[in-house]
Structures are given as C-alpha cells and as structure tokens.
C-alpha cells in the first residue's frame, strides 16, 4: 500500500508540474494513474462542492471573467503551445481550451460524485481533466481540444522546418535550455527515447549542432517534481536537471557533465521553452 501511495504521489506531481509529460502512448503509466486515482480518490468534501458548483455555474453562463479570476497563472499548455500567462490571455483563448466536449463534461458532472477529493492537492474532475486547489482556484486543465491538438502539430512542424536536417526528426519536443556556454535542445524520438542536441558559443539553433546524443533516459527524483534527462557517450554522462522544487536561489535547470563519476563541467541553465 505504501508503494502504491508513493507511486501515486510521484505521478500526480508530474502531471500538475509538467503537464502532459506522461504521454498517451505509455499505457503502463496511464494504468498506474487510473489505479492510483481509484485507490486514493474520495467523494469531494462539502467545501469543495461549493467551489465546484460555482465553477460549473460559471461554465454554464460562459462567464469568462469569473473563470479567469479563479485561475492560478500561468495555466500550462502542452509544449510547444504557449502557456496562458494572464487573465486577458485566458479570455482571448478560452474557446480554444474549453470546447463543447469539455464544457459538456463539466456541465454534466456531479459535484459530489464526479469530482474527487485528493487531499492537499485539492479536487479533480474524473481522472484529472480539471484540477482545483483547496481554495477553489483552477490549477490545471489536462485536456486538449481539437484546436489545440491541431495547433500543437502545426507548431511542431514549424520547429522541424527551422532545424538542421540532421535533427529535424522527432515525435515530441521536450524543452530548450540555455547556459552561458551552450544552447541545448531535448526531444522525445518516441517510446521515451530522448535525444540531446547542443550548440556552443554564439551559434544559432538553426545551424548544424556540435553534439547529438541518443537513447537518453528520464529520471524522476522523489515526489517534488524534480527530474533529469541523462545521456551517455563512452565514459561521459550528460545530465540535464529540471528543478521544480528547490531553495530560493536554485536555478530553473542545470547541466552537469561527468567523466566516470567525476563532475568535469557544471552550469546553471535557463529554460527557454518547455
């Protein structure tokens, strides 16, 4: 039981902190999510039901202003779709997210039975399409409309056209990092096979890269959301850490290069896109 709870915590953090990181094609992980939700979810508490009913009423009335006031910004969208940073941006893009299918699911939902109490994480609709925190604020919309699906495909196609032909093939872009010395791009080639690409100095990412590494792995650290991508070449390991939970002075990301077990290079990194 403890192991199941631990797995549940890890997966839920990744969903909230890194929306859509767990892809639809990974059946095993989705089974774990469904099982964990079944085990841990409870009928929503009375105070949650008040928040939920208010949210449902706002959806019914198409009150974009009221919904926008409830959102914890930025509202993340699946990269490379831009996140929603402000209330004004949300109102403008409301119909792109809340299509008729999602609105119908919300309107037909029962505040007590279809919204689950997830403890300190708040409450969720069904298996996590919508998340609200314990104060009734909207924290995540883990749903992608046809508009967003088409937009994402279009943006990925545009990215591929702008890259050197040696790296213009991938299934899903993961993130772009920048250190004082390097520009780094990480992509998922499919089946969680990650690729590391880097450019040095003042080179543009449209140019031929200086280094390409394949068969990278995603490593999750604890339950705080921190994770890293690890790539090996001969006796060297390239480690790109994404720091979700850290102290006040922690960088957003960090690059470390190991020779054997010895760190031979380390740089803080900015996340340019994710």
Domain boundaries of the chain, sorted by first residue: 41-147, 166-273
Query: Between β-strands 123-125 and 130-132, what pairing exists: parallel, antiparallel or unpaired?
Result: antiparallel
Residue 149, pLDDT > 60, answer: yes
For residues 11-18, average pLDDT:
44
Spatial separation of the C-alpha atoms in residues 218 and 175, rounded to whole Å:
13
The reported pLDDT for the residue numbered 15 is: 44
d(CA 64, CA 93): 10
The reply to whether omega before 38 is within 30° of 0 (cis) is: no
Pairwise CA distance, residues 270 & 274, whole Å: 11
pLDDT at 108: 97
Provide mean pLDDT across the span 268-272: 93
The per-residue pLDDT for 233 is: 93
Q: What is the mean pLDDT of the chain?
A: 85
Among residues of the chain, what percentage have pLDDT more than 70? 83
For residues 105 and 112, give the distance between their C-alpha atoms in angstroms, rounded to a whole number: 14
- Residue 113's CB is within 10 A of a number of other CB atoms, namely 9
Q: Which among 234, 225, 239 is positioned nearest to 179, based on CA atoms?
A: 239
pLDDT of 84-108, one tens digit each?
999 999 999 999 999 999 999 999 9
Q: Could you say which DSSP state residue 163 is in?
A: S
User: Reading across the β-sheet that carries 138-141, which strands appear in turn?
Assistant: 42-43, 115-117, 123-125, 130-132, 138-141
Higher pLDDT, residue 247 or 188:
188
Q: What is the pLDDT of residue 44?
A: 52
Region 240-250 average pLDDT: 88
Of residues 248 and 200, which shows the higher confidence score? 200
Q: Is-above-0.85 flag for pTM?
A: no
- Dump pLDDT digits (tens) for 197-232: 999 978 998 999 999 999 999 999 876 788 999 999
145 vs 162: CA distance, rounded Å = 26
- What residues pair up with 271 in beta bridges, in sequence order? 177
């Amino acid at each position: 039981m403890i192991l199941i709870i631990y797995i549940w915590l890890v997966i839920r953090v990744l969903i909230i902190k890194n929306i859509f990181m767990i892809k639809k094609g990974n059946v095993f992980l989705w089974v774990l999510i469904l099982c964990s939700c079944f085990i841990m979810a409870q009928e929503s508490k009375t105070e949650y039901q008040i928040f939920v009913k208010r949210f449902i009423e706002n959806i019914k009335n198409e009150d974009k202003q009221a919904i926008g006031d409830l959102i914890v910004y930025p509202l993340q969208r699946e990269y490379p779709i831009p996140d929603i940073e402000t209330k004004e941006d949300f109102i403008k893009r409301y119909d792109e997210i809340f299509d008729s299918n999602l609105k119908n699911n919300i309107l037909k939902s029962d505040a007590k039975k279809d919204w689950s109490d997830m403890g300190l994480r708040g409450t969720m609709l069904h298996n996590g399409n919508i998340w609200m925190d314990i104060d009734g604020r909207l924290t995540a919309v883990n749903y992608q409309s046809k508009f967003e699906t088409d937009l994402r495909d279009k943006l990925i196609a545009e990215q591929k056209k702008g890259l050197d032909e040696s790296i213009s093939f991938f299934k899903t872009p993961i993130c772009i990092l920048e250190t004082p010395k390097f520009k780094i791009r990480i992509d998922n080639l499919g089946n969680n096979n990650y690729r590391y690409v880097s450019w040095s100095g003042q080179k543009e990412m449209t140019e031929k890269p200086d280094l390409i590494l394949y068969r990278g792995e995603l490593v999750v650290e604890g339950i705080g959301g921190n994770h890293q991508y690890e790539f090996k070449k001969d006796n060297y390991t390239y480690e790109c850490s994404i720091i979700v939970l850290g102290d006040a002075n922690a960088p957003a990301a960090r690059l470390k290069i190991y020779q054997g077990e010895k760190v031979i290079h380390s740089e803080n990194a900015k996340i340019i896109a994710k």
